[in-house]
Structure 1
Amino acid sequence: MKDEKLVNQYPVYTTAMGGNYQGDSLDLMKNMKDESIDLIFTSPPFALLRKKEYGNRDQSEYIDWLAEFAKIAYQKLKSTGSFVLDLGGAYQKGVPIRSLYNFRIPIKFCDEIGFHLAEDFYWFNPSKLPSPIEWVNKRKIRVKDAVNTVWWFSKTEWPKADVRNVLVEYSDRMKKLIKDPKAFYNPAIRPSGHDIGESFGNDNGGAIPSNLLQISNSESNSNYLGFCKQLDLKGHPARFPLQLPEFFIKFLTDENDLVVDIFSGSNTTGQACEKLNRRWLSIDLDLKYIAASSFRFLPRTMEVDKVKGIYDELLANKRTVDLSSYQKRASVTLFDGN
């Protein structure tokens, strides 16, 4: 029999397209329908050596801990759905040697849970500060760590995906080639084995992106940080940029599909979904982070006193606060406890 407390769990707030819930993702996801989610995009607390305020685990127990969430995720994803996991690397304690925890995760997920590794991505953050300080700044024996692994897992070898939704701007050289193909190449099979045909010079609306995503994490003037500053609140210390979830949401889902973030923090994923017209559901343990994440869905021009009133009401958590009145679309129901 289901725990009634979990079945009747209500969101802390809702928006035009989704809802943000407080609780343990393992418990809340059990009450979702199997094969109901199109994409789970999340960035769990990393297995860092130093304890963080948002609750990271020791490296020794991290893989088994995260695998429990992956097992539930596998059940709840549609057969064509995807599970995208942003993970940072770490060093072993006391020595300048890398931990292998983030590489053991895809092996465990695929060998023991049943996922397929659809593709590996690497998020390069050029604005990341030098770390770890001991090896980079002090002893100067390592370069700074500026790349996260982003694993794209799927339940089937053929998950939903369309690269045409994430094309990037052509290079200047490619633009010239498209304008006058004959001036730049002749159709032929190259020594590498690539067959460069006449269609190579076609304008397809953009270039196919690589699996190296260069996105600077330098948010400074968003609604979220602006209201945090005005209310003297500390922003979530481990936010990722909006462009990161946007890429995978556009790549792996269609409008009105359901996207879930099981470690939502400041709820960047929910904001990306709202922007792209996807239904979303976010979960986090910390009510303060959830309350502050509401700033992402409030008008930039809203008076600070009113924003504080909404924040205080969310912290009280006596009822679901509907933020859709500040938006153009009508609210939708996402989580029915079935």
Structure 2
Amino acid sequence: MPTQLQLFAAVTAAYADAPDGRLDNATLYAAAGDRAGVPASERQARKAVGVAAQPRNLYERAVRWHQQTLKQMGVLARAPGERGVWELIDRTPKGLHRALPGVRLLAFSTNLGVAIWGDCIDTFERLDTPITVAICSPPYCLSRPRAYGNPSDAEYVDFIVASLKPIVERLVPGGSVCINLGLLDIFLPGSPARSMINERLLLALHDRLGLKLLDRLIWCNGSKPPGPTYWSSRMKVQLTATYEFIYWLSPSPELVRADNRRVLLPHTEKHLRLISAGGETRDAVYGDGAYHVRPGSFGNATPGRIPRNVLHRGARCADTLQYRRDAAALRLPAHGATMPLSIPDFLIRYLSEPGDLVVDPFGGTAKTGMAAERLGRRWVITEQMLTFLRPSGERFRQCDGFHMPEDVEVWPARAA
């Protein structure tokens, strides 16, 4: 007989992979036994139990016990009008495999970090290591939810605040939180006027978590197609949306660990020529005295130029293409919303140092984890959808100390 944990995982997976998340008990016994490797002889064996010594099937009893555990967790319920049939309560519309409440499983790990399949709140409430920076792109508040589900407008602020609360409580002095929030499909119902949900969220993060706004970085993606489709392409009202905000916040901005010297850009050829010439030759005042250019200005050699707070990055990158190839090879659906690796790479270099801990409560395709891994930072990410997390692990196989539990390794084949 397998261990209790192995059998619980087998029962859970049987429901997760069943059509519509629904199984009768006979099918459950067979599916869970196949997954847990229970021999046919053990599945059918009966043993005398209790004072009356009545013969009972202990395997089926154990499966039903785990079934009742899932019921108590609020995951299973009896199928209406069907005797002996149970079904998943929490299942996304397209059948993606969401982590069960209270369940945290290792998806994969390296010497520097771990990816957890589970709820971010439950995971980070148990973390006992100080966090230097959190980088996340939470589900957007969309009028048409993606496959992995999105919070509604009414619950969005509470959802994000609750998700970030255990992380903020564990930030080091001067630690940072960076949140990527989209604008593309957030409109008032039936109106070209944009929702102010992002502004409401920003105020809630300040009022309820004590986070102060350090900047609104803009991720400008010039490769975005015309959109929002209805209001720009059909009704001809809006312009094409090409940017998203990245809110940079900290509970202690006076101690913030940012250092723009870690993200300096090369000087332009024009500026290098100016330095070589000894600087400006002009003596001029601009902007009603706001700017005074004196002879010799900008003549000192410096390591580079300070980046602007507008990040011009297309969504397409080599890391995303590899993730999609890995998902296709595993016959799993690819995540529909990805950011280029260069975004978390920039933020991690800017806001942390090697050895610091970087986290992402909405891990998705593990872009934050991969950027942290390459930059020598420790990392922890959580993701509720194993469908996205499993192929993400493939890109980490060449990292030092890579490990993926066998149950996760074989999951796609068993789920197919």
TM-score range, shorter chain: 0.7 to 0.9
- Larger relative contact order (Cα-Cα within 8 Å, sequence gap ≥ 6): 1
Aligned to 1:304: none
Q: Residue in 2 aligned with 1:110?
A: 206
**Given the alignment, which residue of 142, 147, 154 partners 2:243?**
147
Measured in 1, the distance between the counterparts of 2:352 and 2:282 equals 37
Measure how far apart 1:53 and its partner are.
1.0
The question of 1:28 aligning with 2:126 is answered: no
Q: What secondary structure sits across from 1:148 in the alignment?
A: strand
| Contact 2:362/2:383 (8 A) holds in 1 | yes
Bigger Cα displacement from structure 2, 54-63 vs 237-246: 54-63
Q: Does 1:83 align with 2:180?
A: no
Q: Which amino acid aligns with 2:357?
A: L
Whole-Å Cα distance in 2 between the matches of residues 109 and 126 of structure 1? 29
8 Å CA contact retained: 1:223, 1:298:
no
How far apart, in 2, do the equivalents of 1:316 and 1:283 lie?
A: 23
1:276 to 371, 375, 393: 375
Structure 1 residues 253-298: Cα deviation after superposition (integer angstroms, max 9, x where no partner): 0001000000010101111011111100010001111111112213
1:178 aligns with 2:272: no
Superposed CA deviations along residues 229-253 of structure 1, whole A, max 9, x for unmatched, are: 3344322111110000011100000
Distance between the aligned counterparts of 1:312 and 1:129, measured in 2?
36
Ranges in structure 2 where 5+ consecutive residues have no aligned partner? 1-99
| 2:194 equivalent to 1:98 | yes
Query: Could you tell me whether the CA contact under 8 Å between 2:180 and 2:245 is conserved in 1?
Result: yes
Match of 1:328 in 2: none
Of residues 313, 316, 321 in structure 2, which corresponds to 1:215? 313
Which amino acid is 1:163 matched to?
Answer: N
Q: Residues 333 and 388 of structure 2 are in contact (CA less than 8 Å); yes or no, is this contact kept in structure 1? A: no
Alpha-carbon distance between aligned partners in 2 of 1:10 and 1:174, rounded to the nearest angstrom: 52
Pairing partner for 2:146 from 42, 52, 57:
52
> Of the candidates 323, 326, 341, which is equivalent to residue 224 of structure 1?
323
Residue identity opposite 1:12 in structure 2: A
Instruction: Work out the number of aligned pairs and report it.
Output: 304
- Contiguous gaps of at least 5 residues in structure 1: 301-306, 318-338
Could you say what secondary structure the match of 1:181 adopts? coil
SS of the equivalent of 1:150 reads strand
The 1:114–1:181 alpha-carbon spacing in structure 2 relative to 1, beyond 3 Å, is same
Partner of 2:337: 238
Q: Distance in 2 between the 1:212 and 1:174 partners?
A: 20
* TM-score, with structure 2 as normaliser: 0.67
Q: What corresponds to 2:19 in structure 1?
A: none
Q: Is the CA contact (8 Å cut-off) linking 1:13 and 1:314 kept in structure 2?
A: no
Q: Secondary structure at the match of 1:161?
A: coil
Which of 233, 248, 252 is matched with 1:156 structurally? 252
* Whole-angstrom CA distance in 2 between matches of 1:189 and 1:258: 46
Letter of the aligned partner of 1:255 in structure 2? P
CA RMSD of aligned residues (A): 2.7
Whether the aligned pair in 1 keeps the contact of 2:142 and 2:150 (CA below 8 Å) is: yes
Label 1:220 to 1:279 Cα distance change in 2 as closer, same or farther (>3 A). closer
**Quick check: 1:169 aligned with 2:263?**
no
Distance 1:293 1:204 in 2: 39
Which has more radius of gyration? 2
Answer yes or no: is 1:286 the counterpart of 2:380.
no
Aligned partners of 2:411 and 2:365: how far apart in 1?
14
